[in-house]
A and B are shown apart, each in its own frame.
Chain A
Amino acid sequence: MEVTGRSNLKAWLYLLPALLFLGVFMVYPLVDVFIYSFEEGYNSASQSFFGIGIYNYSYVLHDPYFLQALKNTFILVIITVPLSTGIALLISLGLNSIKKLKELFQTIYFLPYVTNTLAVGLVFMILFKKTAYSDGMVNILINAFGGESVDFIDGPYWAKMMVLCIYTIWIVMPFKVLILTSALASVNPVYYSAAKVDGTSKFRIFYKITLPMISPMIFYLIITGFIGAFKAYSDAVALFGTDLNVAEMNTIVGYVYDMLYGDSGGYPSYASAAAIILFTIVLTITVINLLVSNRTKK
């Protein structure tokens, strides 16, 4: 069918509502953030600024709080993404190979997904927080094995980072397990029969058949895992409260939030610059991920 000017117009008309909303709430803010990040000394009250340049970036990149947030975020990403994906794969393989009570276990592993982040935070408090009455479950365990109590919430940096990593891994696990169990279940069993007839070892079946067959899903999880971990914020708040800079547990998104609304806030330009830096990092990592996954496919 030939597309006439009239039907073209009609098509645009149908698209208009979606385009309008996307434009107003997605594209415009994105562009605006980009512009803000270059406007020096922007004042939101008077809507005025001194000049255009890269000072905002320079400020943010020299801000020790930002550098701390950057470090925290990178540590979080590097530790939690591979670990959570790996553990999820092991759990899924386990779930896939059991026969009895499979559904029950699948449900149990999915429960954290429907649990509120802050409620989970509370549980972690009970596990890790030192109070006047107790040192927390984990410390009680450590004491039982003859170790000394560690303050996981207000203590040394590594202890706090460990709790944050465990928390993050735990919270992203159910979704990954769900995706991977369904990916494993969708592999046609005839491939396993074929491999069995050929005398393939269990490890080789996993490495040569299962893994390549579910690799698209694994790549999906790694990419979304990277993006999610870079955008982490609420997990840190749930564990350490809103004063993350003092706790040395801030993340990049936390820094952006603080710059906008925090006690030291009111700097949309710095916040925008930090947001654009985060965007650049996430984009770079995602592109690298895609390139790697395309390469392995070939």
Chain B
Amino acid sequence: MEVVLKNLTKKFPGRDKKNPVEVIAVNNFDFTIPDGKLVGLLGPSGCGKSTTLNLISGLEKPTSGQIFFGDDDVTKLPPENRGIGLVFQNYALYPHLTVRQNILFPLENLKGKEKLSKQVMEEKALEAARLVQIEELMERRPSELSGGQQQRVAIARALVKMPKVLLLDEPLSNLDARLRLQTREEIRRIQNETKITTIFVTHDQEEAMSICDLMIVMKAGVVHQIGKPQDIYDDPKNLFVAKFLGTPAINVFEGEVKSGKLYIGDDCIMDAPGVKDGKVYTGIRPEGFKLNETGCLKLKLSRVEVMGRDVSIIGTKEESLNDNIRAIISSDNLVDTRKDTVAFDLNPKKVFVFDYETEERIRF
């Protein structure tokens, strides 16, 4: 099911009674989530991504704007009539019910024509349990399950009614690192098998990049960029997106454009035809460095970290906004650690220039 948000806005009244300042959690969202895709809402804490999810689920009412599922306007529909499955951040499994009873719960709510026979309900519950591979845990209680297993039960409960849209709120945040890797593969697999449009919220860019078909990067209630993870990474629209995606993070420098050439300090690193003179921000991805003794960018060498597969060269430069500049190169290259400086050539595809005022990308 395609999900369309049209000029969606959500404002919360200010908490401070003397000086109420409205908080705009979601500011004029206008985008389409295509059918059958796994979509990640990505942004730092408090950027409104959970609110967006709650608006789609119907738990929150928008201040203005509309939400469509396919051609149906669901803006005014209560959550139960939208045909969604929602997995809460803390799973919200009913602690006094067994796994089976938890999964059966949504089915038992069906009334009138939709009412199912006991046998059909059991079959559906088992099917959902099988999908998330917990069929041998059916008689346990949530307190007897690990975090990962609870997560699966919550997904099974959300899937048992075969929703049109599956929503996951920070699905991996309560899991330890190893389970996180495993569970995100699981979510990918479950989505591939069910083909249900799935929207999940995360603040972890790695998580989003690894499994999303489509990623929506937002900050402070504003959508900054929508696209395939690799496309966003390779072609960020602004400095925030460039900084938010990628581990290790992008290296940002204060630079300057002088008559069509881009400078960082005294180093002229590349041509910038058509860019007007003035200060800019320059971002260089860690993998964009190529070791070359006569290279254009010179850094003060701090240390070298050998990781096996590759080598990180840590350096500093006055114009850098980060304390350390990290360049990742193949471990075939040898660095002379006795020297004070190290010089690099740059891969122009990994270098981005941003406006100094607006922080928007300057393309050339």
Interface status of B105 (Cβ within 8 A of chain A): yes
A212 to B142, CA, bound (A): 15
Asked if B90 and A212 sit within 8 Å, CB to CB, the answer is no
Give the distance in Å from the alpha carbon of A117 to the alpha carbon of B84 in the complex: 55
CB within 8 Å for A191 and B90 given contacts A197-B57, A198-B105: no
**Judging by beta carbons under 8 Å apart, are B90 and A194 in contact?**
no
Q: Which of B66-112 contact A (CB under 8 A)?
A: 78-81, 84-86, 88, 90, 92, 94-96, 105-106, 109-111
Question: Which A residues fall within an 8 A CB radius of B?
Answer: 188, 190-191, 193-201, 204, 208-209, 212-213, 215
Q: Kindly supply a per-residue 1/0 record for chain B positions 105-147, scoring 1 wherever the CB is within 8 Å of any chain A CB and 0 otherwise.
A: 1100111000000000000000000000000000000000000
The interface residues of chain A lying within 8 Å CB-to-CB of B95 are 213
Q: Tell whether B59 is near chain A: CB-to-CB under 8 Å.
A: yes
Please tell me if the beta carbons of A190 and B106 are within 8 angstroms of each other in the complex. no
Question: Does the CB pair B86–A199 fall under 8 Å?
Answer: no
Given A193-B92, A213-B96, residue A199 in contact with residue B84 (CB < 8 A)? no
Q: Besides A196-B59, A197-B57, A197-B86, 15 other CB < 8 A contacts?
A: A193-B86, A193-B88, A195-B105, A196-B79, A197-B58, A197-B59, A197-B79, A199-B79, A199-B81, A200-B105, A200-B109, A201-B111, A208-B94, A212-B94, A212-B96
* B residues whose Cβ falls under 8 Å from a Cβ of A: 57-59, 78-81, 84-86, 88, 90, 92, 94-96, 105-106, 109-111, 157, 161
Chain A residues near B161 (CB, 8 Å)?
A: 198
Q: Is the CB of A198 within 8 A of B92?
A: no
- Asked if residues A194 and B80 are in contact (CB atoms below 8 Å), the reply is no
Q: Within the assembled complex, what's the spacing in Å between the Cα atoms of A197 and B78?
A: 8
Complex Cα gap A193–B89 (Å): 12
Bound CA–CA A280/B106 (angstroms): 46
Asked whether, in the complex, the Cβ of B59 is within 8 Å of the Cβ of A201, the reply is no
> CA A195 – CA B86 in complex, angstroms?
10
CB of A98, distance to nearest CB on chain B (Å): 20
Interchain CA distance A199-B77 in the complex, whole Å: 12
Q: Are B96 and A196 in contact (CB under 8 A)?
A: no
A188, A197, A208: which has the most chain B beta carbons within 10 Å? A197
Smallest Cβ-Cβ distance to B88: which chain A residue = A190
The answer on a CB contact under 8 Å between A197 and B80 is yes
Which A residue's beta carbon lies closest to that of B79? A197
Chain B residues with CB below 8 A from A209, complex form: 94
